Structure 1
Amino acid sequence: MLELVKSGGWLMLPILLCSIGALAIVAERFWSLRSVRVAPKHLVADVWKLVQKNQLNKDRLAQIRAGSALGQILVSGLNNSKHGREVMKESIEETAAKVVHELERFLNPLGTIAAVTPLLGLLGTVVGMIKVFSEIMIQGTGNANVLAGGISEALITTAAGLTVAIPALVMHRYFVRRVDFLVVEMEQEAVKLVEVIHGDREVDFERAQG
C-alpha cells in the first residue's frame, strides 16, 4: 500500500489527507445526526406531561435543552410561551436556525472534498503525462521503464482521487437528506407543542406513543 502511494507521486499526499478528513467527518456526522441526539421520540409528550404536572422547573428545562437539538428548540419556545403564540413561534424559529446550522456542520467541507479530489487526481494525470512526454523528448521511446513509471503515476492518482471522491459525494448527499428529514421532524414536533400549549390542539400522546 505504501509503495502504491509513493508511486503516485507527491499529489497522493493531499488526496490521502482528503481521505482522512472525509472519514473523520463521516464518522462524526453519523454520531451527531442520530435521532436520539437530534429529535428523540416522545420528547414532546414527555414535556407536555411535565407541563400538566407543573414540574417544568429550571433544572428540568436545562436537562431537556442539553439532551438534544429538539430539546433546545422546545425549551426556547417554552421560555417564551407566556408572551403569546406568535412570540413563542418566533423564538422557536430563531433557535431552530441555529440548530440547523449545527446539523449542517462539516457538510460543506465534505462536499468540497468530493469535488476537489477528482481534480487532484486529474492534476496527477496531467503531471504524469508531462513526465512521459518529457522523457520521450529526451530519450525517445526506447526506455519503456521510464514511460511506464509516468503512466503509472498518472493512473494511480486518478484512481485514488475517484476512490476518495465517490464515497465522499455519496455520504454528502446522504447527510444533506438526513438533515432535511430531521428538520422536518423537529418542525412538526415544535408546531405540535405550540398548538397544545396554546389550546389550539388536543393530542392523545399515549396513543401517539403506541
Structure 2
Amino acid sequence: MNELIIKIGPLFWVLSVLAVYALAVVAERILYFHRIQINTGDFLRGISKLVNAGKTDEARHEASILPEPAARVVSSVLAHAGLRREELRTVAEDSVQMEVFQIERNIRGLLVVATVSPLIGVLGTIQGLVGFYSQPGVLEGKAPTLAMSDAVYQALLS
C-alpha cells in the first residue's frame, strides 16, 4: 500500500483530502435529512384541522416544535395569519427560499469536489506520461521496458 501511495505522489494526498471532505458532507446531509424526516401530509392535515377549529396559536406551536422545513414554512405563515392571501403567499415564498438554502447547504462544496477530483486524476496521469516520455531513449524507441512499464503504471494509478 505504501508503494502505491509513493508512486502516485502528492496528488494522492490531495485526492484523499477531497474524498474525506466529500464523505463528511454526504454523512452530514444524510443525518440532516434523517433528522427532519416526518410525514408531511399528516402534519399538514393536523395543522389544517387546528386552523379550521380556530386554534391558530396551538397550530403555530405545533409547527414551531418540529425540525422539518415544511413545519418552519407553516410556522412563518401562521405567525402572519392576519395578512391578506397575496401577502401570505409572499411570506411563504420567502420562507421556502430560506429553507431551500438550508437544505442545499454544503452541496456546492460537494459539487467542487466532484468537478475537481477527476481533473486531479487526469493531472496525475499526465504527470506519469510526462515521466514516461522524459526517460532517455523513449523518443528513439530504445527505452528499457521496465522503466517504460513503471511510468505507465504510475500514470494508470493516478
Report if TM-score (shorter chain) is over 0.5.
yes
Identity in percent: 24
Structural mapping, 1:1-210, within 5 Å = 1-34=1-34, 37=36, 40-41=39-40, 42-51=42-51, 52=53, 54=55, 56-57=57-58, 59-64=61-66, 67-137=67-137, 141-142=143-144, 144-157=145-158
Separation in structure 1 between the aligned mates of residue 5 and residue 85 of structure 2, nearest angstrom? 61
Structure 1 CA distance for aligned equivalents of residues 83 and 54 of structure 2: 21
Show CA shifts across 1:86-141 (max 9, x none). 11111110010010111111222212211111111111111111111222359x51
Secondary structure of residue in 2 paired with 1:136: coil
User: Cα 1:91–1:39, aligned 2, differ >3 Å: closer, same or farther?
Assistant: farther
* Structure 1 portions without partners, runs of 5+: 158-210
**Quick check: 2:56–2:78 contact (8 Å CA) kept in 1?**
no
SS at match of 1:105: coil
Cα 1:16–1:22, aligned 2, differ >3 Å: closer, same or farther?
Answer: same
Conserved in 2, the CA contact under 8 Å of 1:81 and 1:87?
no
Contact 1:39 1:70 in 2 (8 A): no
What one-letter code is carried by the residue in structure 1 that aligns with 2:112?
Answer: T
Measure the CA separation in 2 of the matches of 1:60 and 1:32.
20
* CA RMSD, Structure 1 to Structure 2 (Å): 2.3
Distance 1:74 1:2, change over 3 A: farther
Residue 39 of structure 1 and its aligned partner are, at CA, apart by 5.6
| Structure 1 contact 11–124 (Cα < 8 Å) conserved | yes
**Alignment length, in residue pairs?**
152
Q: Is the CA contact 1:38–1:70 (under 8 Å) kept in the aligned structure 2? A: no
Q: Helix, strand or coil: the match of 1:124?
A: helix
More helix by share: 1
**Native 8 Å contact 2:63 2:72 kept in 1:** no
Q: C-alpha separation between the residues in 2 aligned to 1:81 and 1:59? A: 13
Amino acid in the other structure paired with 1:104? E
SS of corresponding position for 2:55: coil
Which stretch of structure 1 is more off in the superposition, 146-155 or 119-128? Answer: 146-155
Cα 1:61–1:39 change in 2 (3 A) is: closer
Q: Distance in 2 between matches of 1:55 and 1:95?
A: 19
